[in-house]
Amino acid sequence: MAEQLEFFPVQSPCRGICQSDERGYCRGCLRSREERFNWQQFTDAQKQEVLRLCRQRLLRKIRANKPALPEEPDQPSLF
């Protein structure tokens, strides 16, 4: 795949909430320890990949916290 030219540097997703969750991801930006520590050495393409992974982690977290829909009864009540 051809690399897209970047006119602006890829900004860090850091939100200043630097605490790790139970899986080792930052609670603020959802990056792993390695991703946080090596951010400055990553190329723009690597940074874009990290941001893509962070979006996936956020979606997974949202789905996991979404309450299950209540089960509907087999036959609705007439009253």
Joined tokens for residue 7:
């006119």
The structure's pTM equals 0.73
- pLDDT the model gives residue 69: 65
- pLDDT the model gives residue 77: 67
Q: List, for residues 15-70, the tens digit of each pLDDT value.
A: 999 899 999 999 999 999 999 999 999 999 999 999 999 999 999 999 998 876 66
- pLDDT the model gives residue 8: 77
pLDDT confidence band for 75 (50 / 70 / 90): low
**Cα–Cα distance, 31 to 14 (Å, whole number):** 9
The count of other CB atoms within 10 Å of the CB of residue 13 is 18
Tell me the CA end-to-end span of the chain in Å, nearest whole number. Answer: 61
Name the maximum alpha-carbon separation found in the chain. Answer: 66
